Amino acid sequence: MVTSPVVIVGAGLGGIRVAENLRSGGYDGQIILLGAEEHPPYDRPPLSKTVLTGADDRVDLKPSEFFDESGIDLRTGSRVRAVDPGSRTVSVERGGAVEELGYGTLILATGLVARRFPGTDGVAGVHVIRTVEDALALRAAAASARRALVIGAGFIGCEVTASLHGLGVEVTLVEPTPTPLSGPLGEQIGQMVTRLHVEAGVDLRVGVGVDELLTEDGRAVGAVLSDGTRVGADVVVVGIGGYPDLDYLEGSGIALADRAVGGGIACDGVGRTSAADVYALGDCANWHDPEGNAHRVEHWTHTVDHAALVAAQLLGHPIAHQPVPYFWSDQYGLKFQMLGSPRPDDEVHVVDDDGRKFLAYYSREGLLTGVVGAGRVGKLMKARQYLLTPTPVATLLG
């Protein structure tokens, strides 16, 4: 049950959603939302899409009056440095001063930080994309760049590539696995992503890594790849993922999940951590699914679902764990979508492919595990119902 005051660490998507759900669910006690960034809560998916291209800068998750109107005490520029479940306090650094803040219920939603390429600290022209400042800095750099090197063809690397390409920048995309996105989706679908980049004219280098970043006068000018080739670039984007920065939990006794299952804050199936009245959700949290498997997931919808589950649990009317994992990505004017929990080693059944748009079902031991599509929004969403209960993939293959 919820105990006042509720202190939420991390004023991103998960933080604002859990606060909002508590209020709409009837909780009228104190809610303090602590965010390390200076911004009110904002949305990250547009950063690599419309913000990077300059098509639309709107990212705020709530209008400014929302916080006063809903009685949510938003404290930006406030970084939690330590948590002490014994005394039920957090240490908050704000403007150089540190304050101890008591909590009744603590919710941790601190997201990720972008992984840097080794040895690039302080090197000009090297970018990551996690915050609004990152996106604006990359956009500014792209305005005067002719060539870009994107390291890593995961979802964000692919999106950044498509966005930079749309801005007229020549992009080399480097990926050590055999295709873009083969990590999450397997090689067969990875080939379909490959053809989009190649048809657009992107210089895609797969099966190679970046051995060394080349610099001149402290500025990145390209890289040497593991096959010995050199790539020139005016701007370098590192898209090699992120990790939960949980230094603030050191000494708290709050259990972390094993790295083999994705790391992050270890939680049960409703977000409870190992400490009483401390919950975690979103990208930083490692939850147990209904089958008891531990996962850490870095998807928007997953975070929103978590926030609803935690709030319901705290309000004393827990909801059954029904969410079907969902992820989308926008590249070259196409919406990529993924439903369920497909694995790269699942059997893939491509049921629709016009050379650009496609739809594929994934199965394991004959049962549907996921659906992946590009430009097939309606058909993909229709398949959602089949992921709610174990369904033989043959049902969909007709």
Ligand X SMILES: Cc1cc2nc3c(=O)[nH]c(=O)nc-3n(C[C@H](O)[C@H](O)[C@H](O)COP(=O)(O)OP(=O)(O)OC[C@H]3O[C@@H](n4cnc5c(N)ncnc54)[C@H](O)[C@@H]3O)c2cc1C
Q: Is residue 15 a contact point for ligand X (CB under 6 A)?
A: yes
Nearest approach in angstroms of CB 8 to ligand X is: 9
Q: Is residue 20 a contact point for ligand X (CB under 6 A)?
A: no
* Residue span binding ligand X (CB under 6 A) among the ranges 41-49, 171-179, 188-196, 212-220: 41-49
* Residue span binding ligand X (CB under 6 A) among the ranges 64-72, 119-127, 145-153, 297-305: 297-305
Of residues 70 and 301, the one with the C-beta less far from ligand X:
301
Q: Is residue 44 a contact point for ligand X (CB under 6 A)?
A: yes
Q: Is residue 14 a contact point for ligand X (CB under 6 A)?
A: yes
Q: Is residue 132 a contact point for ligand X (CB under 6 A)?
A: no
End-to-end CA distance of the chain: 47
349 alpha-carbon distance from chain centroid: 27
* Residue span binding ligand X (CB under 6 A) among the ranges 118-126, 204-212, 270-278, 299-307: 299-307
Using CB under 6 A as the binding criterion, the count of chain residues that bind ligand X stands at 36
Nearest approach in angstroms of CB 37 to ligand X is: 4
Which of 132, 155, 119 shows the shortest CA–CA distance to 240?
155
Q: Is residue 66 a contact point for ligand X (CB under 6 A)?
A: no
Determine the Cα angle at 113 with ends 19 and 301, to 5°: 45
235's CB contacts (< 8 A; 6+ apart) are 125, 127, 138, 141, 142, 145, 147, 148, 149, 169, 220
* Residue span binding ligand X (CB under 6 A) among the ranges 117-125, 212-220, 323-331, 344-352: 323-331
Which residue lies nearest ligand X, judged by its C-beta? 12
Which of 126, 108, 119, 134 shows the shortest CA–CA distance to 47?
134
Can you give the length of the chain in residues? 398
Of residues 3 and 91, the one with the C-beta less far from ligand X:
91
Residues 150-179 that bind ligand X (CB under 6 A): 156
* Residue span binding ligand X (CB under 6 A) among the ranges 30-38, 55-63, 64-72, 137-145: 30-38
Torsion over CA: 58, 64, 67, 73 (sign):
positive
Which of 112, 85, 44, 62 shows the shortest CA–CA distance to 277?
85
Nearest approach in angstroms of CB 383 to ligand X is: 18
Query: Which long-range CB contacts under 8 A does 175-180 form with residues at least 24 apart?
Result: 175/204, 175/205, 175/206, 175/207, 175/208, 176/206, 176/207, 176/208, 176/209, 176/226, 177/153, 177/206, 177/207, 178/206, 178/207, 179/153, 179/206, 180/153, 180/154, 180/204, 180/206
Residues 185 and 344: beta-carbon distance below 8 Å: yes
CA distance 299 to 339: 11
Of residues 223 and 265, the one with the C-beta less far from ligand X:
265
* Residue span binding ligand X (CB under 6 A) among the ranges 9-17, 186-194, 219-227, 261-269: 9-17
CA distance 375 to 337: 8
Q: Is residue 79 a contact point for ligand X (CB under 6 A)?
A: yes
CA atoms within 13 A on the CB side of 280: 28
Amino acid at 336: F
Q: Is residue 373 a contact point for ligand X (CB under 6 A)?
A: no
Of residues 21 and 391, the one with the C-beta less far from ligand X:
21
Nearest approach in angstroms of CB 38 to ligand X is: 10
Of residues 9 and 150, the one with the C-beta less far from ligand X:
9
Nearest approach in angstroms of CB 232 to ligand X is: 25
Nearest approach in angstroms of CB 218 to ligand X is: 26
Nearest approach in angstroms of CB 346 to ligand X is: 20
Residues 101-130 that bind ligand X (CB under 6 A): 109-112, 129-130
Residues that bind ligand X (CB under 6 A): 9-15, 34-37, 44-45, 47-48, 79-80, 109-112, 129-130, 156, 248, 282-284, 298-301, 303, 327-329
